[in-house]
Amino acid sequence: MARLIAILVGLGFTLVVLISFGVDTYTSITEPAPETAEHKFHLEPKAVSFPHDGVFGKWDTAQLQRGYVVYKEVCAACHSMKFVAFRDLADLGYTEPEVQALAAEWQVPGVDPQTGEAVLRAGEPTDYFPSPYPNAVAAAAANNNAIPPDLSLMAKARHGGAEYIYSLLTGYQEPSEELLAEFPEAAPGQGLYHNPYFPNLNLAMAPPLTATGQVSYEDGTEATIPQMAKDVSAFLSWTAEPTKVKRTQTGWPVLGFVLFATILAYLSKKQIWAAVKPAKRKD
Binding-site entries for heme c:
75, 78-79, 205
Helix axes 162-170, 225-240, angle to 10 degrees: 150
DSSP string, 149-205: PP-TTHHHHSTTTHHHHHHHHH---PPPHHHHHH-GGGS--TT-EE-TTSTTSEESS
Binding-site sequence positions? 75, 78-79, 205
* Cβ 85 vs Cβ 128: under 8 Å: yes
The set of residues, in sequence order, having a beta carbon less than 8 Å from that of 158 and lying 6+ positions away, is 164, 165
Q: Determine how β-strand 202-203 pairs with β-strand 107-111.
A: unpaired
